[in-house]
Amino acid sequence: MNYPNGMKKPTQLNQSSNPTNQSFSNRGMSLEEDINVTNQYYLDLDKAVIHKKPTPVQIVKVNYPRRSAAVITEAYFKQASTTDYNGLYRGKYVDFEAKETKNKTLFPLANIHDHQISHMENVVRHGGICFIVIRFTLHDETYYMKAEQLFKHWYDKLKNGKKSISYQVVKENSYLIPFSYQARVDYLAIIDKLYF
């Protein structure tokens, strides 16, 4: 796999994470939970201001019982028109999507939507830092793929019907995100190497 600017292995990216960390790694927690913990850690350290957006919901019916909070009694999940995470790091706009797969050999493109790709294209064109976090749960590996790289695979899907990216290709065209206990998906380590 690629490491930006001469990095040799993931543990070099984060001095506080030593190789034995791999043993208690991130098994058991979802990628979303891990990223939320990481973002909170960044916030606590005053390193970055990055949040998950709320799940988009179409609210249809709301009850207002006396003396208590309004209850939503009918609502539906809506498709997201943007990515799940965005914010601010070292003065830069940061925007990303995160997906995990239990597939060992490939990452399916099915759960990324057209309008998410359009949004990511907008972000890149306007000078933001944009990427997708891909976790292969069974390999216990989490990758940072630049949006520009994702676009290539997306266009390949549109042109040639290729509906997935093989694990091997993700490995070769992405950056392994280092894990540490508090920064469980330490994607800023990759951004530091790529952009600063």
For the bound state, the minimum distance from the C-beta of residue 187 to a copy of itself, rounded and expressed in Å, comes to 16
If you ran DSSP here, which 8-state letter would residue 4 be given?
G
Helix, strand or coil, per DSSP, at residue 2: coil
Read off the tokens for 2. Answer: 């690629």
Q: Is 142 annotated as a binding residue?
A: no
**If 0-12 CB within 10 Å is exposed, 13-18 middle and 19+ buried, where does residue 64 land?**
exposed
Q: Is 141 annotated as a binding residue?
A: no
> Which of residues 31 and 50 has its CB atom nearest to a copy of itself in the complex?
50
Binding-site ranges for a copy of itself (CB under 8 A): 43, 46, 48-49, 51, 53-57, 59, 69-78, 81-82, 86-93, 95, 119, 122-123, 125-128
Q: How many CB atoms lie within 10 A of CB 158?
A: 11
For the bound state, the minimum distance from the C-beta of residue 56 to a copy of itself, rounded and expressed in Å, comes to 4
For the bound state, the minimum distance from the C-beta of residue 20 to a copy of itself, rounded and expressed in Å, comes to 33
Q: Is 116 annotated as a binding residue?
A: yes
- In sequence order, the β-bridge partners of residue 85 are 52, 96
Give the separation between CA 21 and CA 186, rounded to whole angstroms: 13
For the bound state, the minimum distance from the C-beta of residue 162 to a copy of itself, rounded and expressed in Å, comes to 28
Phi, psi of 40 (to 5 degrees): -65, -40
Q: Is 84 annotated as a binding residue?
A: yes
Binding-site sequence positions for Mg(2+)? 82, 84, 97, 116
